Amino acid sequence: MTSDEQQRAASGEYRLLTGAGPAAIAVIRLRGAAVPQFLRRHVRCARSPDALPAGTGWVFRAELLDPDGQALDDILVSVHGEAPTPDIRLHLHGSPWLVRQCTELLAAAGFVEAREADAPLWHAENAIQAEAFSLLPRMLTLRGVQWLLRQSRLLTQTVNEITSAGDIEVARQRCEALLSRRHIVDWFTRPLRVAIVGPPNAGKSTLVNALADREVSLVSHVPGTTRDWVEVGGEIDGFPVIWLDTAGLRESAHELEAEGIRRTRSVLASAEVIVVVLDATASATGARSAFLSAHADLTPACVALNKMDVVADVHRVRESLLPAWRRCAIPVSALARLRLGELRRGVLAAAGRDSAVLAQPGVFTARQERVLHEALASPEFACQRVAAAVVR
């Protein structure tokens, strides 16, 4: 071993496994004796702040800390090797500034940049697993990461079972079932777009802030404060969403507000789910009636009857709605954050995000989909061909 190699083994080395420049995710590989000390000083586990999970195969959420213990980023950490040869990956948000901050922390801790040839992001046992690993940076939530890693094992197991199936018709049906779940990967790589609409001053921005659990939209008692839509990223039960806070819908002679209303209508066309927000207080009866008359063509997933904490008779307000709206009406309080869980579940149900389906196997890449379609279309359905082409 050369002196340079000895130094690397005694301290540690790092390598950026993803491309340089701005990106959604950046992955940095750490190896060497200095890894445990770096983790203790600069990584704080979200679930167990006083102790880091150990063991190859672990993936956990954590915070990357600066020298003063302040959080730099919300990251994922994956463990690929334990002592005496620790091998981990730090999955950061892909800002070049964050990558530079992390590499400077590593250099200060005695790490040197690896000079070896490009290493694979993960060691894959078969083609399905390799495709799952390559998709990991596109997963937008921790639940998505966990689903994908389980799915690679589950899909491999299912295809192997198809290979040994004695009944060709059963094998064909199982392949069709795998193809029917091709869309599930999109649940974790493409956020669900949820438009929050309603008359001015109904509490839309307050509701978006509550749903996103952070102050992102300007809140005011002055009607027409929101002049353009605001996109806010978040998640519901591990499914990524984008909340669209829109300008209040009403007739307006104010040129700027009218433009905001026009843009709201264009946003509605791009949204997958619509949530109507209505002020349920007695003073807003006229505004509710006008909105119902003007926008009866909307098909909301949920109608949030807001300010329930100060409404005496929510039932009467519900009965005043259109029949279709009445069935999906949920009394809430954006300010007091009451019954928001029910509203979130209503959004997921309307979008077809069914958690029960996540435990079932399905293809998650275009290659897997193509191979199964070709196998099903062949004159003689060959189970062995499916295993050879999909797994290997």
Is the pLDDT confidence value at 338 over 90?
A: yes
DSSP state of 229: -
Which part of the chain has CATH 3.40.50.300? 189-351
pTM, rounded to two decimals? 0.67
DSSP state of 378: S
Give the pLDDT confidence score for residue 21 in this predicted structure.
65
Confidence of residue 330 (pLDDT cuts 50, 70, 90): very high
The token pair that represents 225 in the structure block: 């404060």
d(CA 43, CA 62): 6
Those residues whose C-beta lies under 8 Å from the C-beta of residue 207, and which sit 6 or more positions away, are 196, 277, 304, 306, 332, 334
SS3 content of the chain, % helix, strand, coil (to 5): 45, 20, 35
CA trace torsion 282, 287, 292, 293 (10° rounding) = 130
Euclidean distance between the first and final Cα of the chain, in Å? 36
Helices and strands: H and E segment counts in the chain: 15, 13
Is the pLDDT confidence value at 387 over 80?
A: no
Which residue in 139, 140, 194, 214 sits closest to 344, CA to CA? Answer: 194
Lowest mean pLDDT among 33-42, 249-258, 264-273, 359-368: 249-258
Give the pLDDT confidence score for residue 311 in this predicted structure.
86
Is the pLDDT confidence value at 339 over 70?
A: yes
Give the pLDDT confidence score for residue 225 in this predicted structure.
42
Which part of the chain has CATH 3.30.1360.120? 3-113
What would the pLDDT profile of 81-110 be if each residue is shown by its tens digit?
887 788 999 999 888 788 889 999 999 999
Confidence of residue 254 (pLDDT cuts 50, 70, 90): very low
CATH 3.40.50.300 fits 189-351, yes or no: yes
Q: Before 84, cis peptide (omega within 30)?
A: yes
CA neighbours closer than 13 Å in the CB half-sphere of residue 327: 6
- The third-level CATH classification (topology) of the domain covering 3-113 is Gyrase A; domain 2 (3.30.1360)
